[in-house]
Chain A
């Protein structure tokens, strides 16, 4: 059945290491998004992609990088340049503006990243 997969659920890394979080969707959605959630901060947009091979910075892109080589995949790399990487990371997808419609975003279960 269709959905968004994020793995792993929990991830631990040492400070100074880059880490890549995976996000896969089989909903045939054009658009994909990465958010970060911190206590009391709500959801803040890191990067988003409205179509394959294209992506835009969100509100807090510094220290992160993404790629969108395939429609179903939108991996996020948390680099050592990110000053406060410990957070709950959420991936989402939507039909996309180009397809019209309500364009609601559907979220994955999230990855809790802890940098030690």
Chain B
């Protein structure tokens, strides 16, 4: 039973346009959400996070939106750059446990 779902396996966007990566979760105990970026044959790197007490967190070109009632979050990248091409993982955890639950990832391709 997948508690964190990234239903689209891939996304392709033009350089300079917006990339929107979606993530849904089913466990209402999750209260902290993270996005990681991963290149092939490397470990994931932390990108941005959001606590359940917020509905938006912004860091440069990256913004994460959280809709708790819909159990949905999204990562917006504006403007998209070719270097953003990677696999993006959504992850979630409960406050009482350090364990993260990851989605299956989405492969983003930014076309020059």
Chain A residues with CB under 8 Å of chain B are 4, 6, 31, 33, 35, 40-45, 48, 50, 56, 58, 88, 90, 92, 94, 96-97, 102-110, 112
Q: Is the CB of A106 within 8 A of B104?
A: no
Instruction: Provide a sorted-by-A list of 23 A–B residue pairs whose CB atoms are within 8 angstroms.
Output: A4-B43, A6-B43, A40-B9, A40-B104, A41-B104, A42-B105, A48-B98, A50-B98, A56-B99, A88-B41, A94-B98, A97-B96, A97-B98, A102-B32, A103-B32, A104-B34, A105-B34, A105-B98, A107-B43, A107-B44, A108-B43, A110-B41, A110-B43
Q: How far, in angstroms, from A58 to B46 measured CA to CA in the complex?
A: 21
Q: Is the CB of B43 within 8 A of A109?
A: yes
- Ranked nearest first, the 10 interchain pairs of A and B with the lowest CB-CB distance are A107-B43, A42-B104, A43-B102, A31-B98, A97-B98, A42-B102, A107-B44, A104-B46, A42-B105, A109-B43
